[in-house]
Structure 1
Amino acid sequence: YYVNQLAYKEKMTLIGEMVNTIIHDFRSPFTGIQLSSSMLKELHPDQESQEWCDLISMQVQRMLNMAEEVLAFSQGNTKLYCQLIDIAKLLQNFAKLNQVYIDFSSVELIVSVEEGLIINADENKINRVLQNLLSNAVEALDKSEGKIEIRARRKDRLVEITFSDNGPGIPQEIQDKLFEAFVSYGKQGGIGLGTAIVKTIIDAHNGKIFFESSPSTGTTFYLHFPLAKID
């Protein structure tokens, strides 16, 4: 046990140092991309160009946020910057940001959301949860018939978000340890931090995550968050 813990700490330290270097080295070119996007936005005032420029800026910021999230995870830091979030708007924006990725991957994405679902959460971190689950699903799917469904509804005093795919399912031998660091499935070259980060973020929000998976039906993740109390 002691040896395993020592190896785990060494891996996390190495990942933290690596990601810190990446963030430092990438910040300058990312800033250049955002400045170029702003200049293009000024030169092309038509709506379509404006939307594409906004998308570029948002995606660059997302990449930085994702790298910083891995760094925070490696340091055991789960600090939240919470605000009231409308789940319908969150999922609509998430689908829009990933439309090019979904089209390129040749899978179908379906989003269905009840109106009026509000949670108190860190929007960047919730987006990271969704992105990790989406990336895992896309990489595990048969691209010719792949389908992903994201649904959100009220369940008692909770918001339940389900994230389903029709892929081959999660191997039985790793299901019990799926949310541990360095456990991976269905991905080429993955290091196994995605679902561990997901679990850490949801725990920090006093939420819950669990899943059902089989080779015949695919995988469904269930995410539960407390409904926000609005006066």
Structure 2
Amino acid sequence: MQDGAILTGTLIPTSSSRVETRALEGSELFRSNQLIVGIPEAAFNGFSRQIDVVEFAAGQVIFLEDDPGDCLYLIASGSVKISKKGRGGQQETLTHLTDDDFFGEMALVDAGTRSAQATAETACVVGRVDEEAWALLLQVAAQQVLGNFTRTVTKRLRHNNQHFIDEMMRNERLSLLGGTISSVMHDMNNPITSILAACELMKGRAADPVLTDRMTGIIRDSVARMQTMAREMVEFTSGNTQLNVQSTPVTKLLDSLDHELQRCRQMNVDVRTEILYDGDVDVDYPRMLRVFSNLVRNARQAMKKTDGGRLTLRVHRTDDGVAFEVADTGCGIPKDILPRVFEPFVTHGKSHGTGLGLAIAKSIVDAHGGTIQVRSTEGAGTSFAVSMPVQGGG
């Protein structure tokens, strides 16, 4: 490494991408970093010249799980997400790190591979510390650095312990709920069967067959939805969402929301649609209808508090799929709730409900290989964006 290794216009290859560094006047960028705070000035000056300053764009992978661990990183600015592959190969977030924190240190210390993935959540400026620079740091300020290291790692360990305890408690609640729902579903089968049988009797004996056909169709569809929703809750709590994916017209999905949209209009809500793609999408139709019905219902409830508003449904084609958006001008979601809005049992401003609606919606979208994201401003409104892949390239 060259002296003063704040590189200019150099591409540093990583396993996941190539990252461009830029010239920065910069020894002070890392002066307050938790790893090196308090070390002597002379030691810091010598060490800072060994740091490579690297920029990462939002969403860019810094390193992957199982990559070689040949350096650690100091965060000058921005936010970094540390995650690990969990159930179904999905990335499970372990923690979020911000200014003056550091990461990637364990693989360097034990000469192993990366135990997790690091991704820039926002645009980041970080300092790359390789084995040579790390050895120099320990040579000139071992006592202070190891003290900083121990305090920070201990603090993280406490945080992670609490996180895992919370997860265990949440899983116990899910397990209990799953058992309860299984029992309820078993008990529901008999009345559901009776309702379906009654529909057939009504159809055969009623004086107005046209009206009877219509009413029994509504009852039959409602019962089918009850069965589907109950089955989804069982699958969600067991972590197993089974799909029956078929090519489905986007217009069919939107037309099926008419009942929910009509309820919005009755509440003085201006419903707007912007359909820029009306082709097919590969989905389990009843499941995705459940997702969008839930989003529209949430929007209606949010605007109930504001005496009306505007609900916008948007659909457009993307490079690799179809994007749906459900946006409202309702009361919005509080900042402290927003990061946890897709977690089970999280609810806001409702006098009833299980707090599972958005968690189930996310599990359905995840099972399709799609994504669901939320943006919200308290007092101004909320927007949910659902991106679904198109299997055949569309």
Give the structure-1-normalised TM-score: 0.86
Identity %: 31
Residues 136-190 of structure 1, C-alpha deviation per residue, up to 9 Å, x if partnerless? 2233222641443323222333211111222100111111121122211222233
Which of 251, 263, 279 in structure 2 is aligned with 1:117? 279
Q: How far, CA to CA, are the matches of 2:269 and 2:368 in structure 1?
A: 30
How many Å apart are 1:108 and its aligned residue? 5.5
Which one-letter code corresponds to 1:156 in the other structure? D
Match of residue 176, structure 2, among 11, 14, 21:
14
1:80 shift after superposition: 1.4
Q: 1:146 to 1:67 in 2, by over 3 A?
A: farther
Alpha-carbon separation, structure 2, partners of 1:68 and 1:89:
23
Structure 2: distance between partners of 1:230 and 1:23: 39
Relative contact order higher in (CA < 8 Å, ≥ 6 apart)? 1
Partner residue in 1 for 2:332: 169
Residues 118, 49 of structure 1: CA spacing in aligned structure 2 closer, same or farther, 3 A cutoff?
same
Alignment match, 1:189: 352
User: 1: distance between equivalents of 2:285 and 2:333?
Assistant: 28
2:320 corresponds to 1:154:
no
Deviation sequence 1:8-28 (CA, Å, 0-9, x none)? 121011110111122111222
CA distance in 2, matches of 1:60, 1:100: 21
Q: Secondary structure at the match of 1:55?
A: helix
Q: Tell me how far apart the structure 1 counterparts of residues 222 and 268 of structure 2 sit (CA, whole Å).
A: 20
CA distance in 2, matches of 1:65, 1:193: 15
Question: Does 1:45 pair with 2:45?
Answer: no
Which residue identity does 1:55 align to in structure 2? I
Match in the other structure for 2:222: 59
1: CA distance between counterparts of 2:301 and 2:166?
29
| Shift, 1:88, TM fit | 0.5
Say whether the 8 Å CA contact 2:277–2:317 is kept in structure 1: no
Contact 1:84/1:228 (8 A) holds in 2: no
Structure 2 length as normaliser, TM-score? 0.53
Confirm or deny: 8 A CA contact 1:199 1:209 kept in the other structure: yes
Alignment partner of 1:82 is 2:248:
no
Cα gap change, 1:99 to 1:45, in 2 (>3 Å) = farther
Structure 1 stretches of 5 or more lacking a match? Answer: none
- Distance in 2, matches of 1:102 and 1:40, equals 32
**Against the structure 1 CA distance between its residues 161 and 52, is the aligned structure 2 distance closer, same or farther, given a 3 Å change threshold?**
farther
Per-residue CA distance 1:67-93 (angstroms, 9 max, x = gap) = 111111000112211111111112202
Query: For the aligned residues, what is the CA RMSD?
Result: 2.5
Structure with the larger helix share: 1
Please give the alpha-carbon distance, in whole angstroms, between the structure 1 residues aligned to 2:182 and 2:269. 33
Contact 1:154-1:160 within 8 A present in 2 as well: yes
Aligned length: 229
Structure with the higher fraction of residues in strand conformation: 2
Q: Which has the larger radius of gyration?
A: 2
Of residues 5, 8, 25 in structure 1, which corresponds to 2:187?
A: 25
SS at structure 2 position matched to 1:171? coil
Q: What residue is the counterpart of 2:362 in the other structure?
A: 199
Cα displacement (A) at 1:94: 2.9
1:192-231 alpha-carbon deviations (Å, 9 max, x no partner): 2211111111111111111221134311111111124279
